[in-house]
Amino acid sequence: MSETNDNSIALLRQIREGNQTAFKGLFDTYFTPLCRFIYYQTNDREASEELTLDIFTYLWDNRATFEIKLSVKAYLFQAARNRAINWLRQQKATVSIDAIDHSDMATDVSALETEELYQLIRAAVLNLPDRCREVFTLSRNENLTNKEIAHQLGISVKTVEAQITLALKRIRKFLGDRYSYLW
C-alpha cells in the first residue's frame, strides 16, 4: 500500500479510538481547503465554514461506526461536495442548482477519485501471490503477450492465462462492489 493510504488507515484507527490530537490534526489539515472548496460552490463564506464544521462534527460523533473505503481526503471532499449541493438545494431564491459550474467540481472530485482508485488497485496488485503478481505486472505494465510472458518465465501459456484470471478475480474481490463497473 502507499504511504498516504497507510497514514490514512493509522489516522482513522486513532480517531476511532477517540484520539483528540489525531482528530485536531485532521481538522487543522483539512478545514481551510474544505472551506475553500465549499465556498467555491456556494459563494457564501459563513455557509462554507458552517458546512465544514458540520462535516467534522459528524465525523467525530460517528467515529466508532464510520467506514472510509478510499482515503480520508477523498471522503472529506466528497462529503463537502454533498453538503454544498444540499445547501444550495435549500436556498430557494438565492441560487439555482443548475447555476453551479459542475465541470470544475466534477474534475476536482474525479481527479481525487481516480488517484484513490489507482492506489487501491496498486494495493490489490501488491497483495497478489508473487508469481501471480509477476505475471499480471508483465501483462499489464510491460504489455507483454501471454506467449512472451510464458517464454520469459519458463512456464506454459495456459499457466499465464490462469495466473491473469486469478489476478483479475482477486483484484475484483479486493475492490468490492463499489467498482464493479470497471470489470
How confident is residue 122, by pLDDT bands cut at 50, 70 and 90? confident
CA 33, 113, 102 angle in degrees (round to 5)? 70
How confident is residue 156, by pLDDT bands cut at 50, 70 and 90? very high
User: Does residue 92 fall inside a structural domain?
Assistant: yes
Q: How far is CA 63 from CA 12, 58, 96, in A?
A: 8, 8, 34
pLDDT at 158: 93
Query: Global pTM?
Result: 0.49
Least confident stretch, 19-28, 57-66, 140-149, 173-182: 173-182
User: Does residue 22 fall inside a structural domain?
Assistant: yes
Contact between 27 and 16 under an 8 Å Cβ cutoff? The reply is no
- DSSP result, 54-92: HHHHHHHHTTTT---SS-HHHHHHHHHHHHHHHHHHH-T
pLDDT at 44: 87
Domain tally, the chain: 1
Over residues 136-143, mean pLDDT: 86
d(CA 48, CA 38): 5
Residue 147 has pLDDT above 90, yes or no: yes
User: Does residue 142 fall inside a structural domain?
Assistant: no
User: Does residue 121 fall inside a structural domain?
Assistant: no
User: Does residue 117 fall inside a structural domain?
Assistant: no
User: Does residue 14 fall inside a structural domain?
Assistant: yes
User: Does residue 122 fall inside a structural domain?
Assistant: no
Residue with cell 479486493: 174
More confident residue, 102 or 169: 169
pLDDT at 2: 45
d(CA 12, CA 72): 8
Contact between 125 and 2 under an 8 Å Cβ cutoff? The reply is no
pLDDT at 178: 59
Over residues 34-56, mean pLDDT: 89
Over residues 54-75, mean pLDDT: 82
CATH number of the domain residue 30 falls in = 1.10.1740.10
Residue with cell 485536531: 24
Share of the chain above pLDDT 70, in %: 78
- Domain holding 40, by residue range, is 1-100
